[in-house]
Amino acid sequence: MKIKLLSLLCALLLLVGALPAASALDGEALRSANTLAALNLVDSAGAAVDYNQNAPASRADAVLLLVRLAGAEKAAKAAGGSTVFRDVPTSYAPYVAYAVRQGWVCGVSAVEFAPSRAITANAWCAMLLRMLGYRESAGDFTVPDAAAFAQHIGLVSRRYDGALTRGDVFEMMREALTFPYQNGSGTVIERLVESGTCTYATASALGLLDAELTVREAADRCTAAVFCLDLFEKQQQIDRKEPAANASGFLISSDGVAVTNYHSLEDGVYALATFSTGESYPVESVLYYDTEIDIAVVRLAKTSITGKEVSAFSYLELAGTEDVRPGDTVYAIGNPLGLGLAVSSGVVSSTNREVDRYALPCVMNTADISQGSSGGALLNVYGQVIAVTSGAYTYGNSMYLAVPVDPVMSADLTSHSWTLKEVKQMEAAKGD
């Protein structure tokens, strides 16, 4: 009897975005503070008082922590100097002065810094982004939208809003440690090691220099680049905001190039990519597709359906399947059952499973997937994409299929582009 295939999407019932906003997670703030203390970024003496993690984070404390996170505390102290702000305590003056010179912070007026005022999520994220090389003047972000942009690019893994506690700041600093500077000069933790703020041995022992990611780290670092895909086949569906199908996709460039399954877009005239931030961006064009291998490469618009423009997207690196072996650990991120982004883990069962439906051998693996997130990312332990999650055997346990992403790595994505309507018309013409 011929084995039937059921198109599926990858998943775990761990919905991204279900986390509480604007408050430190239980136990997470303390773990983050302990990590930061080991790196000399937070006063280890604070352990006796739980680092005051539930206290409001002040603007002065935020600047001090920012300068330390940049590995610049020694430079700030050496430079010294006073500030134009008359309300900054002497103990904080070198840090505020240094951060102002770097263009990371500004006052609430020409002569006031408001050091004791609680730091807001947008203000703190704006500081972090500037430290990393992003600039409002370049159109990268705006202060009123800084927290949302930070989540959008994967600098933070969850939504923060309003005034922050010290615990919130600790969590956000911990996540920033493995984030790269915009100019490609390495990650924050690598800069801290280079500056002598912490030792390589300490950073390595904490797993911050380890290229291999745990499933949680993969979820934190990679989810921002994955989206839920809503497909519309008729204008009436668009008007009613009722998609005909749900699927998944993932970005492979900062300018909005993304990958999904061809069948996730088949017969569609309009599609929306919705990220963990809640922002939705239309599929602007199709750059490449192959019905036989069930892969499509699309470009997303940089303007959301609400009119919000974005300067860059978070994206995933492509690795392909050349070095994949049975037994390798893999992570899947997608939109199972249309419930929202979720992650699962498993191992590679086979790297060359022949399936009638696909022109290329599939990667069979045990990372749980479910109907609704075809087009999601199958990652290796380094957070790189090896395949596109596509289906499963109808009968069998943990026999999930993913199409190798290798063809995308060699595809010409510059010579042609089509709208979804044009692709639908071209494929319909083939059947005539």
Count Cβ atoms below 10 Å from residue 415 Cβ, excluding itself.
8
Q: State the DSSP code for 41.
A: S
In Å, what is the CA distance from 29 to each residue of 36, 203, 216, 349, 427? 10, 19, 16, 38, 53
431 CB burial (10 A radius; 0-12, 13-18, 19+): exposed
Cα dihedral 68, 71, 77, 79, rounded to 10, equals: -130
pLDDT of residue 3: 35
- Residue 138 burial (C-beta neighbours within 10 Å; 0-12, 13-18, 19+): exposed
Distances 257 to 84, 277, 380, 389, 408 between C-alpha atoms, Å: 45, 18, 21, 18, 11
**Can you point out the beta strands (E) in 224-311?**
226-232, 245-251, 257-260, 270-274, 280-290, 295-300
What pLDDT is stored for residue 14 in this prediction? 29
**Residue written as tokens 């990650």?**
187
Cα Rg, the chain, nearest whole Å: 23
What local confidence, expressed as pLDDT, does residue 395 receive?
Answer: 72
pLDDT digits (tens, 9 = 90+) for 272-285: 999 998 999 999 99
Distance CA 176, CA 154 (A): 9
The whole-number pLDDT of residue 358 equals 84
CA 319 to chain centre: 18
Report d(CA 250, CA 377) in Å as an integer. 6
**DSSP conformation class of 311:** S
Residue (of 131, 155, 311, 319) closest to 221 by Cα position: 155
Distance of CA 95 to the CA centre of its chain: 30
Copy the structure tokens of residue 257. Answer: 């190039």
Residue 151, pLDDT score: 93
pLDDT at 411: 93
| 321 HSE (CA, 13 A, CB side) | 24
Structure tokens of 244?
């005909």
Q: What is the CATH number of domain 1-17+213-432?
A: 2.40.10.120
Q: How far apart are CA 201 and CA 75, in angstroms?
A: 23
pLDDT < 70 stretches in the chain: 1-26, 45-49, 432
β partners of residue 389: 402
Helix, coil or strand: residue 28: helix
- Closest by Cα among 233, 211, 174 to 423: 233
Of the candidates 223, 155, 176, 215, the residue with the CA atom closest to the CA atom of residue 16: 223
From the CB of residue 420, how many other CB atoms can be counted at a distance below 10 Å?
24
Residue with tokens 């599609």, as numbered in its chain: 271
Q: Give the pLDDT of residue 295.
A: 96
User: In sequence order, which residues have a C-beta less than 8 Å from that of residue 410 and are 6 or more positions away?
Assistant: none
Reduced to 3 states, what is the DSSP secondary structure of residue 10? Answer: strand
Residue extent(s) of CATH 2.40.10.120 domains in the chain: 1-17+213-432
Which residue in this structure is represented by tokens 């190039």?
Answer: 257
